[in-house]
Structure 1
Amino acid sequence: MFTVSNGIILKGENLVPTRENIVVDDGKIIEIGKDSSEGKIIDVDGAVVCPSFINGHIHIGDSIIKDEGYSLSLSEMVKPPNGVKHVALANATDDELIDAMKASMWEMVESGTTHFIDYREGGIEGVKLLKKASKDIPIKPIILGRDDSFYGDDPDLNRVRTAVRKLLKLADGIAPSGFGEITMDVAEIISKECGKAGKISSIHVAESESNQIESLNNYGLSEIEKGVKTNFSQLVHLTNPKNDDLELVSGSGQNVVVCPRANATLNVGVADLNKMLDLGLKPLIGTDNAMLNSPNMFRELEFCLKIMSVRYGSYINPVDLLKMATTNICGFDINNIIQKSVIDEGNFAEFIVCNSFSKNPYLNIINRVETKNILYTINKKFSI
């Protein structure tokens, strides 16, 4: 048992700043209060105590080819099966992949991340590989698998259904690449089987303008409309919405994940976070392909803060932005696959304690703190 005392806590789902003590026992927060005190005292006078980060979308297998293919198009980089990434993954040994994924996971841990949602290539073996790589690292991967049987213009739907069911026995959900690679029939099988299993179905939508135009020309539906129509529980990117796409998502109850830094790197645009917030959406933020970006959420947050005012001419509310990397996960209600990372009594103790450089605790985290400024990372699996 120990007490983190005298810090400025960003408390609850709304990250309300308050100066209180946090008592932790056996990995859980058992008490929060101004006079609370048990066990070892850790005095963090004036430091900011923030929920640990969740990286809402990453392809951690890409860690084997960091910064390769810079300036290539989206399709050239990541479209299966011939994208730079997929060729590299096919040619890498298991040991190479494990070592690269471990390095990225440690980078996340050291920069305050305790959870990440991974789009895992390689079918069942790919899922097993990430589980093996993460075994002794204090981080929780939420693993979304995929299978090569999903792809093509005329897939064997019985084979697809079997592959999905097998994957769901091991993975936390299913995540094909995008609607440019799968048919609507495959999409519906994935979302239906994930729904029956109480697991996550996720897909990239509207990442590029060209993807949207191709979808509209060929099907009369935008990729976002397809994602809503096929009931995927989680839509990723939404960088290039058309017409009332975002309004459609806001009424569907589907979860949204955005990756502004990766989208900017690939020159496909930047998601309009302010409009999403105005519509009542509560996105998560992810760093996306490890080959493009470091998985450091501080860098993602700072980029998002500044690019919104440049791209859309209006400042984003810092507390809303910080929620995208922390407590917005509370809205992702999918059978408790994703643990709530909220500083409140009764919750698991998962938070970071950071130096304070600013009177604004939200901008302090987003705009000032770097990895070296984390004083403590409290994790339910590995405390202090």
Structure 2
Amino acid sequence: MFTIANGIILKGANLVPHRENIVVDEGKIIEIGKDSREGKIIDVEGAVVCPSFINGHIHIGDSIIKDEGYSLSLSEMVKPPNGIKHVALANASDDELIEAMKSSMWDMVHSGTTHFIDYREGGIKGVKLLKEASKDVPIKPIILGRDDSFYGEDPDLNKVKIAIRKILKIADGIAPSGFGEITMDVAEIISSECEKAGKISSIHVAESESNQIESLNEYGLSEIEKGVKTNFSQLVHLTNPKNNDLKMVCESSQNVVVCPRANATLNVGVAPLNDMLNLGLKPLLGTDNVMLNSPNMLRELEFSLKIMSVYHNDYIGPVELLKMATTNVCGFEINDVIRKSMIRENDFAEFVVFNSFSKNPYLNIINRVETKNILYTINKRFNV
């Protein structure tokens, strides 16, 4: 048992600041209060205590080719099966992949992340490799698998269904790359099988303007419309929405993940976060491909804060942005898969203690803090 004392706690789903103490026993928060003090006292006078981060979207497998292919197009970089990433993954040994993924996971741990949602290439073997890499790292991967049988203009739907069911036995969901690689039939099978299994179905949509135009020309539907109609539980990117795309997502109650740094690196635009927030959407924030960006959520937060004011000519509220890296996931319908806690009594202890440099606790984290300014990361699996 221990007490984190005299900190400014960003408490509950809305990250409301309170100067209180947190008592933790056997990995759970048992009491929060100004006079709460039991066990070992860890005095963090004036520091900011925030829920640990969740990296809402990452491709950790391409940790083996950091910064390769810079300035190439989206398709040249990441489109299966011939993108630079997929060729590198096919040619890497299991040990190389495991060590590279382990290194990236430690980078996340050291920068305050305790959970991440990974788009896992390589079918069942790929899922198992990530589980092997993560077993001794104090972080929780939420693993979304895929299989080569999904791809092509005329896939064998029986094989697709069998592959999905096999993957779902060991993974947390299914995540094909995008609608440019799969048919609507495959998309519907994925979302249906995941829903029956109570797991996540996720897909990239509207990452680039060209993807949207191709989809509209061929199907009369935007990629976001396809994602809604095929009932994926989670849509990633939404960088280039059309017409009523965002309103449609809001009405469908689907979960959204945005990746501003990756979108900027690939020169495809920046997701309109303020428009999403004004509609009532509660996005997650992700760092996307490790080949493009470090998986450091502090860097993602600062970039997102500043690019919104430039790209969309409007400031984004710091507290709403910080929720995208922390508590927004607690309201997701798929949260029984993710199981991410906020700071409140009876929740698991999953929080980070940051040095304080300013009077605004949100901007302190987003705009000031670096990895070296993390005093403690408390994780229900490990105390780091």
User: Which category describes the TM-score, using the shorter chain as reference length?
Assistant: over 0.9
Match of 1:148 in 2: 148
SS at match of 1:314: coil
Is the Cα contact below 8 Å between 1:150 and 1:186 reproduced in 2?
yes
| Partners of 1:200 and 1:339 in 2: CA distance | 13
**Partner of residue 65, structure 1:** 65
Contact 1:340 1:347 (C-alpha < 8 Å) held by counterparts: no
Residue 258 of structure 1 contacts residue 271 of structure 1 at CA under 8 Å; is this kept in 2?
A: yes
SS of the residue 2:305 aligns to: helix
Match of 2:364 in 1: 364
Counterpart of 2:129 in structure 1 is 129
Within-5 A mapping of 1:282-361: 282-334=282-334, 336-361=336-361
What does residue 218 of structure 1 align with?
218
1:29-178 matches, within 5 Å, as: 29-178=29-178
CA contact 1:115–1:139 (8 Å) conserved in 2: yes
Letter matched to residue 308 of structure 1: M
Give the Cα separation in 2 of the matches to 1:66 and 1:323.
Answer: 28
Q: Give the residue type in structure 2 aligned to 1:6.
A: N
Q: Distance in 1 between matches of 2:335 and 2:324?
A: 20
Is residue 179 of structure 2 the alignment partner of residue 179 of structure 1? Answer: yes
Amino acid at match of 1:192: S
Tell whether the 8 Å contact from 1:332 to 1:338 is kept in structure 2 after alignment.
no
- Specify the SS of the correspondent of 2:176: coil
Matched to 2:30, the amino acid is I
AA paired with 2:302? Answer: E
For residues 339 and 374 of structure 1, the distance between their equivalents in structure 2, rounded to whole angstroms, comes to 23
Residue by residue over 1:248-276, the C-alpha shift from the partner in whole angstroms, topping out at 9 and shown as x without a partner, is 00100000000000000000000000000
- For structure 2, the 5+ residue unaligned runs are none
**CA displacement at 1:335 relative to structure 2:** 6.0
Stretches of structure 1 that go unaligned for 5 or more consecutive residues are: none
Question: Can you list the C-alpha shifts for 1:73-112, whole angstroms capped at 9, x where unaligned?
Answer: 0000000000000000000000000000000000000000
Q: Deviating runs (4+, > 3 A) in structure 1?
A: none
Q: Is the 8 A contact 2:203 2:227 kept in 1?
A: yes
The one-letter amino acid of 1:87's match is V
Secondary structure in 2 matching 1:336? helix
Q: Could you report, residue by residue, the CA deviation over 1:101-127 in whole angstroms, capped at 9, with x for unpaired residues?
A: 000000000000000000000000000
Shift of 1:339: 1.4
Alpha-carbon shift at residue 331 of structure 1 (Å): 1.7
Q: Deviations over 1:219-245 (max 9, x none)?
A: 000000000000000000000001110
Q: Which amino acid aligns with 1:106?
A: W
Q: Distance in 2 between matches of 1:180 and 1:197?
A: 25
8 Å contact kept, 1:198–1:335 = no
> Which residue of 2 is the match for residue 249 of structure 1?
249
How many angstroms apart in 1 are the aligned matches of 2:64 and 2:383?
Answer: 30
Instruction: Provide the rounded CA distance (Å) in 2 between the counterparts of 1:160 and 1:335.
Output: 26
Task: Name the aligned partner's letter for residue 267 of structure 2.
Answer: N
| TM value normalised by structure 1 | 1.00
Tell me if the contact between 1:4 and 1:41 (Cα under 8 Å) persists in the aligned partners. Answer: yes
Match of 1:380, SS state, is coil
Q: CA deviation at 1:193?
A: 0.2
By how many angstroms is 1:15 displaced? 0.2
For residues 226 and 336 of structure 2, the distance between their equivalents in structure 1, rounded to whole angstroms, comes to: 26
Contact kept, 8 Å, 1:199 with 1:335, in 2: the verdict is no
Q: Which amino acid aligns with 1:198?
A: G
In structure 1, how many angstroms separate the alpha carbons of the residues matched to 2:71 and 2:46?
Answer: 43
Q: Is the 2:329–2:335 contact (alpha carbons within 8 Å) kept by the matching residues of 1? A: no
**AA partner of residue 136 (structure 1):** D
Q: Alpha-carbon deviation of 1:333?
A: 2.1
Matches for 1:271-286 after TM superposition, within 5 Å: 271-286=271-286
- Distance (whole Å) between structure 2 residues aligned to residue 341 and residue 272 of structure 1: 27
Distance 2:345 2:319 in 1: 21
Report the count of equivalent residues: 384
Partner of 1:206: 206
Partner of 1:379: 379
Does the CA contact (< 8 Å) of 2:66 and 2:291 recur in 1?
yes
TM-score (norm 2): 1.00
Deviation by residue 1:265-292 (Cα, 9 ceiling, x = unmatched): 0000000000000000000000000000
Name the structure 1 match of 2:267. 267
C-alpha deviation, 1:332, in angstroms: 1.5
Q: What is the identity percentage for the equivalent residue pairs of Structure 1 and Structure 2?
A: 85
Tell me the distance in 2 between the aligned counterparts of 1:215 and 1:311.
25
Aligned partner of 1:122: which letter? G
Amino acid at match of 1:269: G
Q: d(CA) in 2 for partners of 1:156 and 1:76?
A: 27
Does the Cα contact within 8 Å between 1:116 and 1:141 map onto a contact in 2?
A: yes
Give secondary structure in 1 for the equivalent of 2:293. coil
